[in-house]
Amino acid sequence: MRLTSAVAAGKIARVVSRRLGLGGGSSVPGVVAARVDPDALGKLASGLPFGSLLVTGTNGKTTTSRILAAILREAGWHPVHNRTGANLASGLTTALLESANLVGRNRADCALFEVDEAVMPRIREQVRPRVIVLTNLFRDQLDRYGEVDYVASLWQRSLLSLPRDVTVAVNADDPALAALGQRLRSRVLFYGISAPGSNSLDRFADSKDCPICGQPLQYTVVRYAHLGTYACPSGDFRRPTPDITVQSIATRGLDETIIESTGPFGARRWTLKIPGLFNVYNLLAAVAGATALGVSGDAIDRAVATFQAAFGRFERLEVDGRIVYFALVKNPVGMTEVLRTILHEPGDKGFVILINDNLADGTDVSWLWDADLELLGNRCQFAVVGGTRVGDIAVRLKYAGVPPERISTVESIAEGLDAGLGSIGAGGTLYVLPTYTAMFELRQIATRRGFAGRFWEN
Amino acid sequence: MRLTICHLYASGMNVYGDRGNVIVLAQRCRWRDIEVRIVERGVGETDPMHDYDLIIAGGGQDRDQIAVSDDLQGVAGVALRNAIEDDVVLLAICGTYQLLGHYFKTGGGVVLPGIGVFDAWTEAGSRRFIGDTLVKTNLHDKEGRTLELVGFENHSGRTFLKLGCEALGTTVIGAGNNGEDNREGAVYRNAFGTYLHGPILPKNPSFADELIRRAVARRYGTDSARTLPPLDDSAELNAHRRIVDRIQRRGRVKSGAT
């Protein structure tokens, strides 16, 4: 009875908040429902015949979840998936409410939840997932969590108590996660990259000491930041052999990443239509999650072949005769990888960099100084900068070696986009790098002007 | 001219973008045709430190702070104290600032000893002080104007300066050392400690130049220091002004951490 009232209240809240234009009601219905029945999330989730999957970690949750949702749909399932950014309990509840009827029975048959890394333990208890996918652990949003170690210890405490019939998909290339995976009693599926690579260590490694004895790990290959192939010189710890792995990666510009992989599904060749090494990891994480559920390799093949970028995640749009790539930036590792991916292609590039410091972006923008903007130095044709922290990003670029005459500041997001389009000229390619809330504003502009690829990301 | 910048405890104490301070100092030197050598120095190193011209250390996580405290109880601490007494210029942020005092007492009651260069001590408090911070210092720029520093603090440690220990400045906005006495940071000879992240130097170019000038004076004499050419700081001052304006318009921006 309580659940029914909670669901009804939530559904009404959703209608009201949509009418009032309160940002699509991504979390409000869930908040309302939880007020009426604090157990709403758990009860709604337990009604799903094929259970729930959680995807969590610092970077890659959204893309991993979207690939995984596509794979599940190709396998004939009907997952309900929470909206990007709505990855706290209220957002998950909202997602379930949308497909639930008044007694809480759901049209969907499973739930795929992208979960904020600090909240995962609490969600895990309420939702009781069958599969948990761990992407990686990096520094992110320091002002929210205060310390990186805090999240790692939260996860450890939560996951050590998992029952044996839950599968955890773990990134073998992330030392802290690999060590955690080795300690779990539940079933673990390791994934990682085994293609040839180099071993110059990145500055970011905030987890490059042996999790067992604390000595610095030795890397034979570094993929990026602290991800790679590593071993402790004392012999007490090394990268576990992945169950699902990639042996070769080739790229065709920013439009295709060609991957050869092996796993329980045999040997496969996938062409992923989004760029970046970090997306190879996202694909692996999704494949591991799907494999844990027994999904066939053919369903994976079909999903990968048709997968497209989400708005703001290296999405390519055509605007006024220009090609524009939008790539969200939010922490040092992510921003550095975005830049590295773009600059992998020869030539100087034109950029629009929009840095906001609203709550969802992180109010401390010092991460800009940990990002490797020096990569831009002399490869930057122009940089239009904007956002609430326009002053800071302009200074950062100056010290990164971008000639001051190539840096211009704007006072609004729309002005930034237009200045970039103007500077790149017809037929050119523009790279727009916004933080989270700047990305939302760009999406509104895109919709108003009619060049959005899809309306409201799903 | 050539200056050596030591980035101290770079791999552990580097969580808040404080490496930006090294970047700013290095560039501001190079833009004046001063050659710069950057040395990264970590835990376990024992060489003397008085040949460095500037020592820059940042903030970090609890476990790294323990490692630094341990390191400073040995030869490294002696080397650092000697360097500071020798007027080597030093900038220590947050966690390393705390360890330049007598000790840091954690929330759990553990006492991490420091090296007592600042006559001060720090205790962990129950609140975290987070937000934009504006500090009025006792320093002056080349035109004689008082230096006001803008930054971002994020600490639960409360630092108390003993009588006679000079502060970096007074807080105009923000908690400062402990949220009670309105003082921020500490100064001893050419060593500066502060809670200001941001990082501190990019938006406070005059303070960066103060550090460079003192380093040049120590190695090359006061004439060389006095004749350091000015730089075009319009971008930095613009960024500084934007934050100050925003603080004045709507108060200091905080965040949702506990």
The reported pLDDT for the residue numbered A134 is: 96
Mutate: best of A369, A385, A389, A410, partner B, most B CBs <10 A:
A369
**Tens digit of each residue's pLDDT (9 = 90 or more) over B152-188:** 999 999 999 999 999 999 999 999 999 999 999 999 9
The reported pLDDT for the residue numbered B236 is: 98
Of residues B20, B27, B239, nearest to A369 (C-beta): B20
Residue range A332-355: average pLDDT? 93
Give A146's pLDDT tier (boundaries 50, 70, 90).
Answer: very low
The reported pLDDT for the residue numbered A203 is: 56
Instruction: Read off the tokens for B11.
Output: 């791999």
**Tens digit of each residue's pLDDT (9 = 90 or more) over A71-126:** 999 999 999 888 766 777 777 788 777 777 666 666 788 999 999 888 888 888 88
More confident residue, B234 or A96: B234
The reported pLDDT for the residue numbered A144 is: 41
Which of helix, strand or coil describes residue B92? strand
**Tens digit of each residue's pLDDT (9 = 90 or more) over B116-133:** 999 999 999 999 999 899
The DSSP symbol for B110 reads: -
The reported pLDDT for the residue numbered A43 is: 80
The whole-model pTM stands at 0.82
Instruction: Read off the tokens for B23.
Output: 């970047």
Mutate: best of B23, B156, B231, B237, partner A, most A CBs <10 A:
B23
**Tens digit of each residue's pLDDT (9 = 90 or more) over A363-418:** 889 999 999 999 998 899 999 999 999 999 999 999 999 999 999 999 999 999 99
The reported pLDDT for the residue numbered A213 is: 87
| The CATH classification of domain A313-449, taken from the options 3.90.190.20, 3.30.530.20, 3.40.190.80, 1.10.10.10 | 3.90.190.20
The reported pLDDT for the residue numbered A103 is: 67
pLDDT at A238 exceeding the cut of 50:
yes
The Cα–Cα gap between A367 and A336 comes to 11
Catalytic site includes residue B197: yes
The Cα–Cα gap between B114 and B79 comes to 13
Give A140's pLDDT tier (boundaries 50, 70, 90).
Answer: low
pLDDT at B45 exceeding the cut of 90:
yes
**Tens digit of each residue's pLDDT (9 = 90 or more) over A9-25:** 878 777 776 666 665 45
Residues of chain A within CATH 3.90.190.20 domain(s) are: 313-449
What CATH number labels A51-306? Answer: 3.40.1190.10
**Tens digit of each residue's pLDDT (9 = 90 or more) over A243-289:** 999 999 999 888 999 999 999 999 999 999 999 899 999 999 999 99
The reported pLDDT for the residue numbered A240 is: 98
ipTM of the complex: 0.95
**Tens digit of each residue's pLDDT (9 = 90 or more) over A48-65:** 888 999 999 988 898 999
Extents of the domains making up chain B = 2-250
- Residue A411 at interface with chain B, using a CB cutoff of 8 Å: no
pLDDT at A323 exceeding the cut of 70:
yes
What's the length of chain B?
258
All residues at 6 or more sequence positions from A346 whose CB lies less than 8 Å from its CB, including other chains: none
pLDDT at A142 exceeding the cut of 50:
no
Of residues A142, A144, A407, nearest to B15 (C-beta): A142
**Tens digit of each residue's pLDDT (9 = 90 or more) over B54-107:** 999 987 777 788 989 999 999 999 999 999 999 999 999 999 999 999 999 998
pLDDT at B216 exceeding the cut of 80:
yes
Residue A389 neighbours by CB distance under 10 Å: 25
pLDDT at B1 exceeding the cut of 90:
yes
Instruction: Name every chain A residue with its beta carbon within 8 A of the beta carbon of B154.
Output: 142-143, 146, 364
The answer to whether residues B229 and B33 touch, using CB atoms and an 8 Å cutoff, is no
Using a pLDDT cut of 90, give the percent of chain A over it: 56
All residues at 6 or more sequence positions from A441 whose CB lies less than 8 Å from its CB, including other chains: A413, A414, A434
The CA distance from B163 to the nearest CA of chain A, in Å, is 32
The reported pLDDT for the residue numbered A154 is: 85
- Residue B253 at interface with chain A, using a CB cutoff of 8 Å: yes
- Residue B195 at interface with chain A, using a CB cutoff of 8 Å: no
**Tens digit of each residue's pLDDT (9 = 90 or more) over A152-169:** 788 888 999 898 899 999
pLDDT at A447 exceeding the cut of 60:
yes
The Cα–Cα gap between A379 and B244 comes to 33
Mean of all residue pLDDT scores within chain B? 93
**Tens digit of each residue's pLDDT (9 = 90 or more) over A409-432:** 999 999 999 999 999 999 999 999
Instruction: Read off the tokens for A207.
Output: 């987890």
The reported pLDDT for the residue numbered B257 is: 38
CATH class of B2-250: alpha beta
The answer to whether residues A351 and A458 touch, using CB atoms and an 8 Å cutoff, is no
The reported pLDDT for the residue numbered A96 is: 79
Catalytic residue selected from B29, B94, B102, B155: B94
